[in-house]
């Protein structure tokens, strides 16, 4: 299991990368910064599992909170509206 | 369609399902009984399960606290086994409204809500729920004031989300059963709110 590098409240940025394969990091959030809401635990790496490999070592999975107005420049709503997304540690920097 | 009693060919996916099922049985991976039992189990999962959880949380504040701390374990207290599913319960308050989507596919708390509705899997809902949640909610008949913050949960990996709606006014003294009856599937996805009448 990979050790968790972040804790709730930490500001993190999602890697802006476009590798091929089974990626659980949505395109729309790549390159955006948010705040760790909680550590969900450690889970098999889906990119490896999709290739029928073991998924080990398990990767820490976080729920990261992003401000909608930072994700969508034309967002209309409350300036504190958020979207929360589960992101694996190896996608954060 | 004209019912001539004649043979109707299988659709592509039906044919694939039958072929795969028969192969699995033929090769001894699964038995017909196991398949039938699993289908029955899937059919037995309905939103009434989730509604029981919500109603309990409304009448028992200690349970509500445990449910928010660890959704999976709290459901076990009600005899609801949620294997391989880490349940995160998100609570609506007068200041915050939660809604759930899976933009990548159709992740859904099936153990508590059953099979997801078609709209949950539609490209329309999946792409717009994260980008213009207020417009989407409005199409469901839920017009939220700008004062209320919206928190959209994109269910992208191993967690599953259940919205704990607010107990509506006018339900004081109601039994758990009566409360559960007003908790609809859509309330627990976060595209509706429970109504007392």
Q: What CATH number has the domain bearing residue A54?
A: 2.30.30.50
> Which residues fall within 8 angstroms of residue B185, CB to CB, at 6 or more apart?
B47, B50, B113, B114, B117
> Is the pLDDT reported for residue A14 higher than 60?
yes
pLDDT in tens, A33-69: 999 999 999 999 999 999 999 999 999 999 999 999 9
Which of A23, A28, A70, A83 is the best substitution to test chain B (most B C-beta atoms within 10 A)?
A: A83
Contact list in A for residue B99 (CB cut-off 8 A) is: none
**Predicted pLDDT at B4:** 62
Return the number of CB contacts < 8 Å for A and B.
Answer: 74
pLDDT in tens, B114-142: 999 999 999 999 999 999 999 999 999 99
CB contact under 8 A, B151 and A84: yes
**Look-up of token digits 């994109």:** B154
Query: Count of domains in chain A?
Result: 1
Q: How far is A51 from chain B (nearest CA, A)?
A: 16
Q: Which pTM was predicted?
A: 0.89
* Structural contact between residues B159 and B86, judged by C-beta atoms closer than 8 angstroms: yes
Q: pLDDT band at residue B197, thresholds of 50, 70 and 90?
A: confident
Q: What DSSP string runs through B67-121?
A: HHH-HHHHHHHTT---TT-EEEEEE--SSEEEEEE-SSS----HHHH-SPPHHHH
Contact list in B for residue A88 (CB cut-off 8 A) is: 157
**Look-up of token digits 């959704």:** B71
Q: How far is A77 from chain B (nearest CA, A)?
A: 6
Q: Residue range B11-15: average pLDDT?
A: 93
Which of B86, B137, B154 is the best substitution to test chain A (most A C-beta atoms within 10 A)?
A: B154
By Cβ distance, the residue of B131, B151, B158 closest to A82 is B151
CB contact under 8 A, A63 and B152: no
| Residue boundaries of the structural domains of chain B | 12-43, 46-189
> Is the pLDDT reported for residue B103 higher than 70?
yes
Q: Which of A2, A93, A5, A85 minimizes the C-alpha distance to A44?
A: A2
CB contact under 8 A, A78 and B150: yes
Q: What average pLDDT does chain B have?
A: 93
Q: Residue range B22-48: average pLDDT?
A: 94
**Predicted pLDDT at B9:** 86
Question: Which residues of B are tagged catalytic?
Answer: 102, 105-107
Q: What DSSP string runs through B22-70?
A: HHHHHTTSS-HHHHHHHHHHHHH--HHHHHHHHHHHHH-HHHHHHHHH-
**Can you list the pairs that B6-14 forms with residues at least 24 positions away whose Cβ atoms lie under 8 Å?**
none
Question: Could you tell me what percent of chain A has a pLDDT over 70?
Answer: 100
Q: pLDDT band at residue B165, thresholds of 50, 70 and 90?
A: very high
**In this structure, are strands A33-43 and A59-67 parallel, antiparallel, or unpaired?**
antiparallel
Q: pLDDT band at residue A32, thresholds of 50, 70 and 90?
A: very high
Contact list in B for residue A28 (CB cut-off 8 A) is: 103, 130-131
List the domain range (segments joined by +) for residue A57: 11-91
**Predicted pLDDT at B2:** 55
CB contact under 8 A, A40 and B130: no
Question: Could you tell me what percent of chain B has a pLDDT over 90?
Answer: 80
> Is residue A3 in a domain?
no
What is B46-189's CATH number? 3.90.330.10
Residue in A with minimal Cα distance to B105: A24
Q: Residue range B161-182: average pLDDT?
A: 96
pLDDT in tens, B40-93: 988 888 999 999 999 999 999 999 999 999 998 999 999 887 765 689 999 999
């Amino acid at each position: 299991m990979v050790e968790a590098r972040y804790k709730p409240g930490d500001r993190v940025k999602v890697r802006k990368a476009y590798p091929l394969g089974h990626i659980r990091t949505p395109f729309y959030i790549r390159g955006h910064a948010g705040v760790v809401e909680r550590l969900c635990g450690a889970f098999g790496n889906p990119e490896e599992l999709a290739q029928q490999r073991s998924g080990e070592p398990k990767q820490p999975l976080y729920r990261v909170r992003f401000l909608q107005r930072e994700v969508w420049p034309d967002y209309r709503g409350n300036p504190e509206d958020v979207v929360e997304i589960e992101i694996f540690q190896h996608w954060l920097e | 369609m004209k019912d001539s009693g004649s043979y109707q060919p299988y659709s592509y996916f039906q044919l694939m399902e039958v072929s795969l099922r028969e192969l699995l049985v033929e090769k001894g991976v699964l038995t017909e009984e196991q398949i039938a039992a699993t289908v029955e189990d899937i059919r037995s999962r309905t939103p009434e399960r989730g509604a029981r959880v919500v109603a309990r949380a409304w009448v028992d504040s200690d349970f509500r606290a445990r449910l928010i701390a660890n959704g999976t374990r709290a459901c076990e207290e009600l005899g609801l086994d949620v294997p391989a599913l880490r349940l995160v319960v998100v609570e609506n308050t007068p200041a915050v409204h939660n809604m759930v989507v899976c933009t990548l596919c159709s992740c859904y708390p099936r153990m508590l809500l059953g099979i997801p509705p078609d709209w949950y899997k539609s490209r329309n809902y999946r792409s717009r729920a994260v980008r213009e949640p207020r417009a989407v909610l409005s199409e469901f008949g839920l017009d939220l004031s700008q004062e209320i913050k919206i928190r959209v949960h994109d269910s992208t990996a191993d967690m599953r989300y259940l919205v704990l709606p607010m107990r509506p006014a006018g339900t004081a003294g109601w039994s758990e059963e009566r409360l559960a009856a007003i908790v609809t599937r859509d309330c627990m996805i976060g595209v509706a709110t429970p109504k007392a009448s």
